[in-house]
Structure 1
């Protein structure tokens, strides 16, 4: 018995070190994707209070958008089959007052609206949605077109706290 234990303890660490290393991921909560030249980073639905969204609940979709194109673009619509309605919300001046614009401007290059200054309001969930699952989200851009990205519904535990919104800007992704 000891011989098998020693062999297993010797072979397992070697075997665990073999194989593909895979892509190293940053510590994001949400999903990363791309629609044409628009990079979508850390897209997620904020955690529901009681572990799930019930029918008719309202939630927030958070995301960071980076326009890598040579021309300006706009996020013109967001849709999900999981909810009745969506609305883009933008605090243009980062003053704490959100408006519902006809579109969210995405300047060309690395310039972008402040990430914490915008979100998508999700109104009227069609069915219960559990934390830790995903919902389909369709983003439509004026120039980049439309694409689907599945957004993770953030899970939380007792004692977790959400980082308060700020108008600071993350660094644009490299590469």
Structure 2
């Protein structure tokens, strides 16, 4: 009887964990780098929270880089956009979608272990405060055009304040 109770408790915990994970969905994950010799790259995606509680993306991991961080772009007030690590992560409000997109919030890969080649895929582990870890497949799409490509002056992007080594413009 005790064994059956323990087994049922384990199944209940598994069901609760699965339900929590099902409330966060990740869509349209893709990555870019600026070229075959680039030391850095970035991933962009949409995070949908269909659950009743707010959550927060707090970390990311991938074997394609020595360091993986959550980043955003901030207007320094002089027309120059500066990239910054967001140590406390990105909030994903209940019933909403948080977009990680070019020119805004994104996952940053520093010290790439190999080039991002068109069409390759790699696993990315996203760590959420409540939903836990979710692994998504990211496809490299070096040709993709989106809102970032229409109207932003890429020549004014300042990555110098970050320790990226020989980072080239990734977006």
Instruction: Identify the residue that residue 62 of structure 1 maps to in structure 2.
Output: 44
Instruction: Identify the residue that residue 142 of structure 1 maps to in structure 2.
Output: 129
Is 1:79 paired with 2:61?
yes
Instruction: Identify the residue that residue 141 of structure 2 maps to in structure 1.
Output: 154
Q: What is the Cα deviation at residue 161 of structure 1?
A: 5.1
Is contact 2:65–2:113 with CA below 8 Å preserved after alignment?
A: yes
Q: Which has the higher helix share?
A: 2
Match for 1:124 among 111, 114, 119?
A: 111
Q: What is the Cα deviation at residue 58 of structure 1?
A: 0.3
Q: Which has the higher strand share?
A: 2
Is 1:99 paired with 2:84?
yes
Q: TM-score, normalised by structure 1?
A: 0.60
Instruction: Identify the residue that residue 120 of structure 2 maps to in structure 1.
Output: 133
Q: Could you tell me how far apart the structure 1 residues matched to 2:72 and 2:55 are?
A: 16
Moved over 3 A (4+): 95-99, 111-116, 160-163
Larger Rg: 1
Is 1:39 paired with 2:25?
yes
Is contact 1:90–1:100 with CA below 8 Å preserved after alignment?
A: yes
Q: TM-score, normalised by structure 2?
A: 0.61
Secondary structure of the corresponding residue to residue 164 of structure 1: helix
Higher relative contact order (CA 8 A, sep 6+): 2
Secondary structure of the corresponding residue to residue 85 of structure 2: coil
Q: How many residues align?
A: 124
Secondary structure of the corresponding residue to residue 128 of structure 1: coil
Q: 5+ residue gaps in structure 2?
A: 1-20, 151-171
Secondary structure of the corresponding residue to residue 137 of structure 2: strand
Q: What is the Cα deviation at residue 152 of structure 1?
A: 0.2
Q: Could you tell me how far apart the structure 1 residues matched to 2:117 and 2:99 are?
A: 30
